[in-house]
A and B are shown apart, each in its own frame.
Chain A
Amino acid sequence: MLIPVVIGVTLITFTIAYVIPADPARAWAGQKAPPEVVEQIREKYHLNDPLYVQYYYYISGLVRGDWGYSHSEHRPVLDCLMDYFPATFELTIWAMAIAIPVGIYLGVVSAVKRNKIPDHLSRIFALSGVSMPIFWLGLLLILIFYTYLGWFPASGRGITPSHTYTGLYILDSILSLDFQSLASDIWHIILPAVTLSYATLAVMTRMTRSSMLEVLRLDYIKTARAKGLPDKIVIYRHALRNALIPTLTVAGLAFAGLLGGAVLTETIFSWPGMGRYAYHAISTLDFPAIMGVTFLMAVIFVIANLIVDIMYAYLDPRIKLGE
């Protein structure tokens, strides 16, 4: 699956990137650059060549591990991604860590109390998440928790850990036993993670609810109840385990989606992540960067799907890997 998807994704990006009516070389050089410099850039990065030749250069570079040169940052794309990807990844993980349990819990409550007040409340809460412009929510949180209460900081990732192993600040802080940066990093990630998680929450809730509703009608739930098991066990051990299977797919997709969808949150909270990089790249026509980001996203998407498949096999004994 990986190879066709990746080829497809690079092709789409390439097509989009190069049908642009503007001259990227001019954008890379800047307004004041003399025409010779623009021409040099055009020459150097093969912008005068036909599209397929450029594509060939790109793919052959990719194979050699050269992801191209990011003109908006004046350094290789790979270096940029190594900076920005962990930031977004960390943010996304935390957002999912909030969204998954809360979303599943709300979904269960909603399904068990279908068409009763708890169902209505949790649905309104969850649907509010997907209905709110995420940047507006972010601003609201800053207004409340930074401006008025002063509990959490409003920008950045916090203190850089004394050693960087993974680029994930919190993990690095723990690994390097740098508790001051750990504290600061956790404090900094809370608001953006909450903001980012809210929209995903609804998706999780919705999926859990509908698959729970379906599962709850099945015979084995009747069996479980006929066994005299308490409701809690029936719901969480017997029903949820089965209902989680479709929810998991959604979680996997949502994770991959969040990585790319974090741009708004990253902008509001000045989070130096991939979304902002992509946005910046797009607004400066930094194609190698756009290609790099989308390529990485596609790979993550495929990996996320793979992980979901593995989780499936764990959750559902009927599914065997490799089938």
Chain B
Amino acid sequence: MARGRPGLSPALLGLLPLAFLAVFFAWPVGAIVRLGMDAAALDVLADPGTWRIVAFTLGQAAAATLVAVVAGLPVAFLLARVALPGMAVVRALVLVPFVLPTVVVGLAFRGLLGGGVLPIVLANAFFNVAVVARTVGGLWAHLDRRAEDAARSLGASRWRTFTAVTLPALTPALGSAAAVVFLFCATSFGVVLLLGGARFRTLETEIYLRTVELLDLSGASALSLVQVTAVVAVLVLGARARRRREAALKLRARVESARRPVGGEWWVVGAAYAVVALLVVPIASLVARSVDGGFAGYRALSGTGHAGSLSVTGWEAAANSLRTATDATVLALILGVSAAVALVSLRRARFIDALDTALMLPLGVSAVTVGFGYLITLDALPGDLRTSAALVPLAQALVVTPLVIRLVLPVLRSIDERLRQAAATLGAGPWRVWREVDLPLAGRSLLAAAGFGYVVALGEFGATSFLARPDTATLPVVIGRLVSRPGELNSQMAYAACTLLMVVTVAVALVVERLRAGELGEF
């Protein structure tokens, strides 16, 4: 019988992600920042230009977050509440932007809209509509419609009901999603560089350029500190606001809450389809480019590019991608679920906001900083991880874990504590309660997180391109390399590889969709 020993509380699981975070994040980043901290670093802080960059970074991230939220909500509604044919495809499709290498998306937006602030904001939002749709949709699907019925019978129109009842209930998920999106956008690199040129600079591009082009470590360290501080401040504010809204909800099975839209809901469905259509525009332009000169690009996938631009073939890169993403996802699920369990069992603790924020930080620090940090620290671990192939999934897991946490936590936190207590009075120990109550209720969002995490790992570029060995290059790395070489074949192959990446993404999403129905029932 699986009875928990009294001493071993689920809260202890939190030590696992914390240890991981300490070794693979805090230590490397701390070391690199400390290395660069000297008198010159203060000059950077005193420079008003730095603060303009801070303002622009936060401003564009906030704007992109807003756009992603506004565009993502109707899609979340569509995914959560609407029973129409073809939902699985939409669910998979909105994930596609997430895997696309930022270079390629940047180029596509440049082609469609040119450069400037608006394209930066739109491109950043483009990547992240899925974060909002998935995170919010995951909770929305389980909300009991009768709370809304109650509001309607008190005279609230559909819209008022949404703003007064549904939205507050969704706030934890919305806050989670917004925090993640904000972090992605605040640390957005490729897109800003491509669409902003040298005119619109963010902390992330500045840190990158100082580190890589100017070899100015002290300036980069100072900016990294500023970045961490700004990110922490925004996260803590967000966590506060979110927690005020957290309340136990009556959760229901998704099949019961999804139905054919009625009345004004069709407008929302229309808006959602419009958003999906807009998402498809850049995607379609990429696919179109891949077949621009016939299928030469696809044929080239079995080779290594024009005159051996690559060390691996396209197909080998695809295999590498699938392999590392699998490792990263498994690791991230273990870490993310452990963290979520700990955060839920510690919900009354004082330091919970700090812990919550700490677990998000890897998304808020630039990949270069982490990558360089690895170089100067990880040789102290046995086996010199710096040159090991295992470092890539570890680094990807660093990015995927916070996402898993953010997707699963809102659902876990909305489970009525008394439901767990009911299980306990029926003889279930703390771990068993987990397996019997939390896991099934959050199962759907857990699977969504697994699929989502997998896609993120597939698409991860920053850390991967820094750490991958030539023979373990993944598809995004290969694409990045191909577009930075002249030659028509390279270009065609790059776009063919992009299309391959999208196909893999959709396939993974559809498989997860299937799994979900089979494994965990239809809750």
Q: Do A and B come from one complex?
A: no
CB within 8 Å of A: which residues of B? none
CB within 8 Å of B: which residues of A? none
